[in-house]
Chain A
Amino acid sequence: QKEVEQNSGPLSVPEGAIASLNCTYSDRGSQSFFWYRQYSGKSPELIMFIYSNGDKEDGRFTAQLNKASQYVSLLIRDSQPSDSATYLCAVNMGPGGGSNYKLTFGKGTLLTVNP
Chain B
Amino acid sequence: NAGVTQTPKFRILKIGQSMTLQCTQDMNHNYMYWYRQDPGMGLKLIYYSVGAGITDKGEVPNGYNVSRSTTEDFPLRLELAAPSQTSVYFCASSSRGSGDLGEQFFGPGTRLTVL
Give A residues with C-beta under 8 Å from B: 4, 8, 31-32, 42-46, 49, 51, 88, 90, 92, 94-103, 105-108
Per CB-CB distance, the 8 closest pairs between chain A and chain B, nearest first, are A105-B42, A101-B97, A43-B106, A105-B43, A98-B99, A98-B100, A92-B98, A107-B42
Size category of the B interface is: 20 to 34
A32 with B101: CB separation less than 8 A = yes
Supposing A94-B99, A98-B96, A103-B98 touch, asked if A42 and B108 sit within 8 A by C-beta, the answer is yes
B42 with A88: CB separation less than 8 A = yes
Q: How distant is the Cα of A105 from the Cα of B98 in the complex, in angstroms?
A: 12
Q: How distant is the Cα of A95 from the Cα of B44 in the complex, in angstroms?
A: 19
B42 with A106: CB separation less than 8 A = yes
Q: Cβ of A49: which chain B residues have Cβ within 8 Å of it?
A: 101, 103
Q: Does B58 contact A (CB under 8 A)?
A: yes
A44 with B90: CB separation less than 8 A = yes
Minimum CB–CB distance for B99 against chain A, Å:
4
Q: Cβ of B74: which chain A residues have Cβ within 8 Å of it?
A: none
Considering the complex, which residues of chain B in the window 64-115 have a beta carbon less than 8 Å from any beta carbon of chain A? 90, 94, 96-101, 103-104, 106-109
A45 with B99: CB separation less than 8 A = no
A32 with B98: CB separation less than 8 A = yes
* Chain B residue at minimal CB-CB distance from A4: B42
Q: How distant is the Cα of A42 from the Cα of B90 in the complex, in angstroms?
A: 10
* Chain B residue at minimal CB-CB distance from A43: B106
Partner of B40, one of A98, A101, A105, A107: A107
Q: How distant is the Cα of A96 from the Cα of B100 in the complex, in angstroms?
A: 8
Q: How distant is the Cα of A103 from the Cα of B106 in the complex, in angstroms?
A: 13
Q: How distant is the Cα of A32 from the Cα of B97 in the complex, in angstroms?
A: 11
Q: Cβ of B43: which chain A residues have Cβ within 8 Å of it?
A: 44, 88, 90, 103, 105
Q: How distant is the Cα of A7 from the Cα of B99 in the complex, in angstroms?
A: 25
Q: Cβ of B101: which chain A residues have Cβ within 8 Å of it?
A: 32, 49, 51
Q: How distant is the Cα of A97 from the Cα of B98 in the complex, in angstroms?
A: 10
Q: How distant is the Cα of A94 from the Cα of B58 in the complex, in angstroms?
A: 13
